Amino acid sequence: MFAKIRNHLTFVYATVMVCFLLAFIVASYTGLVWVLYQEEQQDVEAFAREEAHEHLELLRQRKLSVAVPNMEDNEQNDGKLFHYAFDVNGQQISSSEPAREVRAAMLTRIQNWEGVDGQAVLTKVYLPGGEKNYFMLCGIKVYDGGQALGTVFVGKDITSYYIMLKRLFLVLSLVCLLFLVIAVFAGHILAGRVIVPIKNAFTRQREFVADASHELRTPLSVMLASVDAVQSDDENTMSRFSGQVLEDMKSEIKRMTKIVGDLLTLARADAGATTIIKEKFDINMVAGKVVRSFQPIATEKRVSLEFIRTGELFIQADIERISQLLLILIDNAIKYVQHEGEVILTIKSMPGSKGHITISVQDNGVGIPEKDQKLIFERFYRIDKVRSRESGGTGLGLSIAKWIVEVHGGTIRVESASGIGSTFIVDLPS
């Protein structure tokens, strides 16, 4: 149980830490990308305005049909910043070109330009090898007194930033992974520290329940014996009222003895102090005995109690605990079935799965609403407290049944519908 709580806490701690870390990484990475984008965009737009201004005179001359030679100033260009200038007829009049491998692709992009005038945008260019290059590209129209003279395109190769961001992303992902490992480790240690006081309190409470139940057993037996003695001694002289009081006392003492016994069983089970002695026995024979012991009660309630058996069925288990399990399930079935109802116990080896047996206790009683079906195995959980109390229930029977099944490596479940009946199905390794 504590290992489960510790694992759960570790998971919660690690998730919280990783969520914070992820949020931090995503926020800082997105912020960095945004700042870089803005900066490059503004840079290229300023460069475009500058180039447009510089080309104004050249384009004027071109307009006046003055022969202007095409200008190329690739010498001062490292290929990162480049420009192309075109007159109104689309004739290139000047350029400082980008890297050789992207020139053709860049010209195609410029010829099909649909961008907003003066606004730089991120443009992807594919190289012949399939490699991607990133550019910030801006086209700006050059006017002279309201008359268009041509267009200047400027661009900047920002592939190196892209590569840097990609590497940064990889490093951050690795950091995140590393922190995940550290978070799980730290979470596990922290969770271990947190559950120490809970563990101590739980142990103290468990010891208290075990000690109290143990100590209460002797006085309860003495009380029961005393009531028996008074009843047999004063049988003839006692008034009807006193007789009734003694009878009520006796039934309350029996009920208390049962609760104390059940509590002691569970407290010992929690502490791991119960020894399970496994031996090989015929479960059908044991079940036959339990069914026979219930026959008088079933007959009194006019309930048909049937046991469907299939010859000998050997199982390696604790005979006392398996009897107790059958006792709890059959007792409940008879308790929660109406007069003239039906209870059927079936024990068979599971088809298709060697080494497993299935015990099912079926009744056509009150049934269990779906919302309660998981909860009935919890301690002191009773659907109808008054009815359970009247029929001598403690709300601990199914918790003990579940413990017995689990300590034998099996499972228990219920299939039920309100007003139709319930079937408790136990699967046990044999």
* Contacts with ligand ADP, residue ranges (CB under 6 A): 332-333, 336, 363, 365-366, 368, 376, 381-384, 388, 393-399, 422
Give the Cα separation of 95 and 115 in Å (integer): 20
As measured in angstroms, the least distance from the Cβ of 264 to ligand ADP is 16
The DSSP line for 288-321 is HHHHHHHHHHHHHTT-EEEEE--S--EEEE-HHH
Give the Cα separation of 325 and 406 in Å (integer): 11
Q: How far is CA 177 from CA 2, 36, 208, in A?
A: 27, 26, 46
Q: Enter the tokens of residue 101.
A: 């491998």
Q: Which helix (H) or strand (E) holds 195?
A: helix 159-233
As measured in angstroms, the least distance from the Cβ of 378 to ligand ADP is 8
Comparing CA positions, the residue from 300, 291, 269, 303 lying closest to residue 408 is 269
As measured in angstroms, the least distance from the Cβ of 354 to ligand ADP is 30
As measured in angstroms, the least distance from the Cβ of 17 to ligand ADP is 41
Give the Cα separation of 363 and 372 in Å (integer): 17
As measured in angstroms, the least distance from the Cβ of 18 to ligand ADP is 41
Give the Cα separation of 143 and 160 in Å (integer): 34
Q: Which is nearer to ligand ADP, 54 or 342 (CB)?
A: 342
As measured in angstroms, the least distance from the Cβ of 26 to ligand ADP is 50
Q: Which is nearer to ligand ADP, 14 or 347 (CB)?
A: 347
Q: Which is nearer to ligand ADP, 68 or 327 (CB)?
A: 327
Q: Output the CA angle 73-75-76, nearest 5 degrees.
A: 85
